[in-house]
């Protein structure tokens, strides 16, 4: 009889304990799904979220914003798109408040405009305050702290930094930078063994910030840039993330001969891991890329023989990229500068055309503009998304002041990006 009562008591205690644990877990989960800094209509509870138009009841990372301690006037800018995970920088309404006025129906190359006398970086410095973020992850929770800095105090050490493959960064991107399009609106640059940001690299960043409006800008490499122009980029965009990694010296066991091959493999690995938009640092975007984000992978032909790798847009784990990576695994040719980067992608395209969308000269360089033509002549570039400048081949100095009067294709594109109008500037 005593044994029966003991078993009954143990059963009652077990049921009671399970009930208590269930209640605790339910309350704890509800707390994790309460966000700070956004309106009630944008809070999600009970693990229900809308993702790609489908309501799913599943475990997912939640993002919590903590207000900065320096000021309560800088609220998190909520959007209406559902799960809010990132804070857009204020370049939308401050530096780029003036709309693009380039006239794409007029190509006389003789018209002029009144360009700002104030240096573009001086204008950027006038933007206060500069916002940066710190991020920490637990098993199912991403916590983001918003920090406000005086512009003059901002340094590379204030930029978020993660090692390549970090799970916290991957979770942040998976939950925060995806919408209904296959390709997330993330920007990737690969940059290593270089220091000061050049003028043309600066224009590339400004064009991407202005026209892509990326959720995050990931810079893959050993160090972040430095210099006059880089300080302006740091002030302008708070969503820069340094993905720290050393460039490889071997590719699948074969020693790298050309240092550029390290960057070639790094860009493929970055897009396979996160998805997004890769740009060479001298590729300049001149209009939004959203019409291309519906494809699983997009590249541009540079000639009848080559596909350019200066621009790649792809969804995470894109099939085309997997086949491209296999080309390095089984057919890497260290002595060939272009085979794996430009010839092999064309080979894959010809075999599997359904895995990639190809643009024709709208994202690399039009076939009629090979060589120094874009630096010495003008052509009507209104139909392109962007252009690869091959800036290493241009040895003359270039600055914001000089580009105002630089009567060439490159000059008009730089003015379009920097000033919102392609025409030459009146001389003061």
Beta strand 297-301 with 307-314 is: antiparallel
- Cα-based angle 338, 340, 341 (whole degrees, multiple of 5): 60
Whose tokens are 């207000």? That residue is 67
Q: How far is CA 394 from the centre of its chain?
A: 26
Q: Report yes or no: 417 and 210 within 8 Å, Cβ to Cβ.
A: yes
- Kindly tell me if the per-residue pLDDT of 426 is higher than 80: yes
Tokens at 371, concatenated: 């060589």
**SS3 of 310, please?**
strand
Question: Does residue 35 fall inside a structural domain?
Answer: no
Domain-embedded: residue 26: no
> Based on the structure, what is the number of domains in the chain?
1
Rounded to whole angstroms, how far apart are CA atoms 265 and 278? 12
State how far Cα 313 lies from the chain centre: 11
Q: Residue 112 falls within a domain, yes or no? A: yes
pLDDT tens by residue, 129-144: 666 777 777 766 777 7
Tokens of 201: 């690299």
Q: So what's the pLDDT on residue 130? A: 66
Q: Which two tokens stand for residue 57?
A: 């009841």
Cα 172 to its chain centre, rounded Å, is: 13
17 within some domain: no
CATH number where 237 lies: 3.90.550.10
Return the number of other C-beta atoms located less than 10 Å from residue 117's C-beta.
8
Number of H helices, E strands in the chain: 11, 19
Burial of 16 per CB tally in 10 Å (0-12, 13-18, 19+): exposed
* Encoded tokens for 226: 């430095």
Specify the residue for token string 């799960």: 83
- 296 falls in which pLDDT band (50, 70, 90)? very high
Q: Which range of residues forms the domain containing residue 376?
A: 48-425
Look at residue 88 and tell me if it is in a domain: yes
Between 106 and 95, the more confident residue is: 106
Nearest CA to 203 out of 211, 195, 194, 214 is that of 211
Say if 179 falls within a structural domain: yes
How many CB atoms within 10 Å of residue 259? 11
| Structural domain contains residue 348 | yes
3-state secondary structure of 203: helix
Residue in the structure block whose two tokens are 């978020």: 160
Q: Mind listing the pLDDT tens digit for each residue in 225-284?
A: 999 899 888 888 878 999 999 999 999 999 999 999 999 999 999 999 999 999 999 999
Residue 130 maps to a domain: yes
How big is the chain, counted in residues?
428
Q: Which helix (H) or strand (E) holds 66?
A: strand 62-66
End-to-end CA distance of the chain: 105
Nearest Cα to 213, choosing from 293, 156, 144? 293
Torsion sign (Cα): 118, 121, 127, 128: negative
- Residues 189-212: pLDDT tens digits? 999 987 899 999 999 999 999 999
pLDDT higher at 156 or 97: 156
Question: Positive or negative CA dihedral for 404, 407, 411, 416?
Answer: positive
């Amino acid at each position: 009889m005593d044994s029966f009562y003991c078993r009954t008591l143990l059963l009652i205690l077990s049921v009671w304990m399970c009930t208590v644990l269930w209640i605790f877990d339910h309350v704890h989960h509800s707390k994790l799904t309460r966000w700070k800094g956004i309106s009630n209509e944008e809070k999600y509870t009970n693990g229900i979220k809308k993702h790609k138009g489908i309501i799913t009841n599943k475990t997912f990372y939640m993002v919590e914003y903590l207000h900065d301690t320096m000021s309560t006037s800088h609220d998190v800018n909520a959007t209406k798109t559902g799960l809010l995970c990132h804070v857009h920088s204020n370049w939308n309404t401050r530096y780029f408040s003036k709309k693009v006025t380039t006239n794409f129906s007029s190509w006389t190359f003789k018209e002029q405009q009144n360009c700002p006398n104030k240096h573009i970086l001086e204008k950027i410095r006038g933007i206060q305050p500069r916002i940066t973020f710190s991020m920490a992850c637990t098993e199912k929770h991403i916590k983001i702290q918003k920090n406000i800095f005086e512009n003059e105090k901002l340094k590379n050490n204030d930029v978020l930094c993660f090692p390549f493959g970090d799970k916290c960064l991957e979770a942040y991107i998976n939950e925060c930078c995806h919408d209904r399009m296959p390709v997330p609106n993330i920007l990737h640059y690969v940059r290593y063994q270089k220091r000061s940001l050049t003028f043309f690299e600066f224009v590339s960043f400004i064009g991407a910030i202005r026209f892509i409006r990326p959720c995050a800008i990931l810079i893959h490499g050993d160090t972040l840039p430095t210099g006059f122009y880089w300080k302006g980029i740091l002030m302008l965009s708070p969503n820069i993330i340094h993905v720290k990694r050393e460039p490889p010296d071997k590719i699948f066991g074969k020693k790298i001969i050309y240092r550029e091959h390290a960057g070639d493999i790094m860009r493929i690995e970055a897009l396979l891991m996160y998805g997004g938009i890769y740009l060479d640092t001298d590729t300049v975007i001149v209009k939004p890329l959203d019409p291309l984000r519906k494809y699983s992978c997009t590249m541009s032909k540079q000639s009848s023989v080559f596909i350019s790798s200066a621009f790649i847009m792809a969804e995470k784990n894109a099939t085309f990229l997997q086949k491209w990576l296999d080309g390095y695994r089984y057919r890497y040719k260290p002595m060939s500068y272009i085979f794996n980067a430009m010839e092999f992608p064309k080979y894959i395209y010809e075999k599997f055309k359904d895995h990639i969308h190809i643009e024709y000269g709208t994202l690399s360089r039009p076939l009629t503009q090979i060589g120094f033509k874009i630096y010495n002549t003008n052509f009507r570039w209104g139909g392109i998304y962007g252009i690869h400048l091959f800036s290493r081949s241009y040895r003359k100095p270039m600055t914001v002041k000089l580009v105002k009067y630089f009567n060439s294709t490159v000059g008009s594109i730089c003015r379009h990006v920097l000033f919102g109008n392609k025409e030459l500037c009146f001389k003061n």
